[in-house]
């Protein structure tokens, strides 16, 4: 088993790390059980014999863990919203989404300080109560982390505190009362 770790900073820089020793992979994976604390202020330290890098939590946009190993046991699940990072080929195709019964499909593009953009497709169950649907809309920015799946296998974690905005396509039919209604030009 091997894992590749990519840390994407708010300076829009990506640093990649590789670990192939199973004995060293398990403690890394176990730390994701506390993934909600990853961006809470404590620095992320990744070290080895040649060098050690220390990342300020506020400067991390995303952390991606690529592997063919099933990581579901190491991360909390959010069945109401499943995000999948899109490949460049998927982004080039026209996206069709919307509501189908109690299920929804949408494209959500997340924008981070420094210019990093994460393009995702989102699927989930539409909540019955309007208040719950509105909370899902605004609650993403209030989470400690947002988990997404990688198309090549593995997961990523977004830092909502490093986000500047996100765009949902097609538009959300149930907007809060204080939302401004206007088309982008």
Query: Domain map of the chain by residue range?
Result: 3-169
Joined together, the tokens standing for residue 32 give 């994701």
What tokens appear for 17 in the block?
């790390």
Q: What's the pTM?
A: 0.89
Residue 132 has pLDDT above 80, yes or no: no
Mapped onto helix, strand or coil, the DSSP state of residue 176 is coil
Nearest of 137, 122, 142, 143 to residue 179 by alpha carbon: 137
Which stretch of 32-36, 81-85, 118-122, 160-164 has the lowest confidence by average pLDDT? 32-36
What does the DSSP assignment read for 145-158? -EEEE-TTSEEEEE
Question: CA 71: distance to chain centroid?
Answer: 15
pLDDT of residue 74: 76
- The pLDDT assigned to 88 comes to 95
- Residue 116 structure tokens: 């990093």
CA distances from 106 to 8, 44, 98, 140 (A): 24, 32, 6, 15
Say if residue 122's pLDDT is above 70: yes
pLDDT above 80: residue 156: yes
* 26 within 8 A of 20, measured Cβ to Cβ: no
């Amino acid at each position: 088993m091997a894992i590749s770790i990519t840390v994407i900073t708010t300076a829009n820089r990506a640093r990649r790390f590789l670990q192939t020793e199973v004995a060293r992979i398990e403690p890394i994976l176990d730390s994701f059980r506390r993934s909600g604390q990853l961006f809470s202020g404590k620095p992320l330290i990744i070290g080895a014999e040649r060098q050690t890098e220390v990342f300020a939590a506020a400067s991390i946009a995303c952390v991606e863990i690529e592997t063919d190993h099933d990581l579901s046991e190491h991360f909390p699940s959010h069945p109401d919203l499943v995000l999948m990072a899109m490949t460049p080929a998927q982004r080039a195709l026209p996206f069709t989404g919307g509501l189908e019964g109690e299920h929804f499909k949408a494209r959500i593009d997340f924008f981070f300080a420094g210019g990093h953009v994460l393009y995702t497709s989102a699927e989930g169950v539409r909540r019955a109560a309007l208040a719950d649907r509105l909370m899902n809309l605004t609650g993403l920015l209030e989470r400690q982390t947002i988990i997404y799946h990688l198309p090549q296998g593995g997961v990523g974690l977004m830092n909502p505190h490093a986000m500047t905005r996100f765009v949902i396509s097609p538009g959300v039919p149930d907007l809060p009362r204080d939302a401004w209604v206007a088309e982008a030009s």
